[in-house]
Amino acid sequence: MDTQNPIDHPDLSDAAAHAAAAHLIEQSLGHLYSAALRTAVLHHLADHVAGGPRTASELARRTGTDAGALRRTLRYLATRGIFREDDNGAFHLTPSGQFLRTGVPGSLRDAVLMLTDDIFVRSSGALDETVRTGAPAFPKVFGAPFFEYLRGDDTTRALFDTGMAAFSEPLDDLVAGAYPFPEHGIVVDVGGGRGGLLRRVLLRHPGLSGVLFDQAPALREHVLEGVELAGRWRAEPGDFFTAVPDGGDVYVLKHVLHDWDDGAAVRILSACRRGLAPEGRVLIVDSVPEPGNDPHPGKTLDVAMMTLVTDRARGPKDLDVLFARAGLRRSRILPTPTFASIVEAVAA
């Protein structure tokens, strides 16, 4: 039996060993960071600091919180680069903290509220169950599969829809600008929710028209109204497992396939293939993790999704298998400056 003390490992100095152990303990408390971010959002701390630095006592008076507990939380968030404490004990907003503000372009406030909600936290807390069984923990924790639960809970569905819209917004304009959309034709945003991506595509490409396709509840708060897009779009409710609007020149599936197992994903892709116009294309906008040990947001999201639904982030070879089953073939992958890539497929 090996009784060697890990901090006496011959490959590590004492300092390196203790640093590695401290890092492990810090990572084990990662759930506190999520809780602190959520606390900052719920008490609008970034909004209160946006006008200039404020002490914890000033912020406590503005937010109706306890000054001591608030200062300790702010100090912790400062170690993660969300706020910065100066020598006078006042807290400043950092570039990262700016994204927690309400109503500013690119705000991730609603995304943070979604990702730190019980639907993620309690499911992630049961990751050991997912690893043991290979099935998402969400149904065991909440009593129903993820999307069935959303259909029965309007509050959580609204949280999810607004959170996903905020999560996706930074990507929308990048995709609209990075992909060479045709000058004319129809773009169908399949499972497009509020239509943020479709809006950006239509604004950048005035010769295109669009169809926002999703379940009716997701379409209620779409963002396509306005004189600048008048007459160039329609919103159509439906079920992408059975059929999508016909005649699309480009079908876009953003953050859709990773929610579903292979069989369901093939059904969605097959529906797009049946509707595809001649020379049309299907775009998968999603995280496409590459092999290796380098950090990648998609690898983190993949584990989070694993606890919620039955599928995963897919690499290029995984997507190729799905495309082949749906009568498509991958033609190229275009990276974006964010965690997601654009995977283009055409008729096989």
What pLDDT, in 10s, does the model give residues 318-335? 899 999 999 999 999 998
8 Å CB contact between 167 and 139: no
Q: Provide the pLDDT for residue 88.
A: 94
Q: How far is CA 237 from CA 86, 191, 246, 249, in A?
A: 52, 10, 14, 19
CA 107 to chain centre: 13
Report residue 287's pLDDT band, with 50, 70 and 90 as the boundaries: confident
Write down the pTM of the prediction. Answer: 0.75
Nearest to 320 by CA among 266, 275, 256, 264: 266
Q: Provide the pLDDT for residue 261.
A: 86
Q: Provide the pLDDT for residue 40.
A: 97
Note the pLDDT tens digit of each residue in 26-56: 888 889 999 999 999 999 999 999 999 999 9
Does the pLDDT value for residue 289 go beyond 80? Answer: no
Helix (H, G, I), strand (E, B) or coil at 280: strand
Report residue 3's pLDDT band, with 50, 70 and 90 as the boundaries: very low
Note the pLDDT tens digit of each residue in 136-149: 999 999 999 998 99
Does the pLDDT value for residue 209 go beyond 90? Answer: yes
Residues assigned a catalytic role? 258
DSSP letter at 313?
Answer: -
Q: How far is CA 270 from CA 106, 263, 264, in A?
A: 34, 10, 10
Note the pLDDT tens digit of each residue in 54-96: 999 999 999 999 999 999 999 999 999 999 999 999 999 999 9
Separation of alpha carbons 61 and 281, rounded Å: 56
Report residue 300's pLDDT band, with 50, 70 and 90 as the boundaries: confident
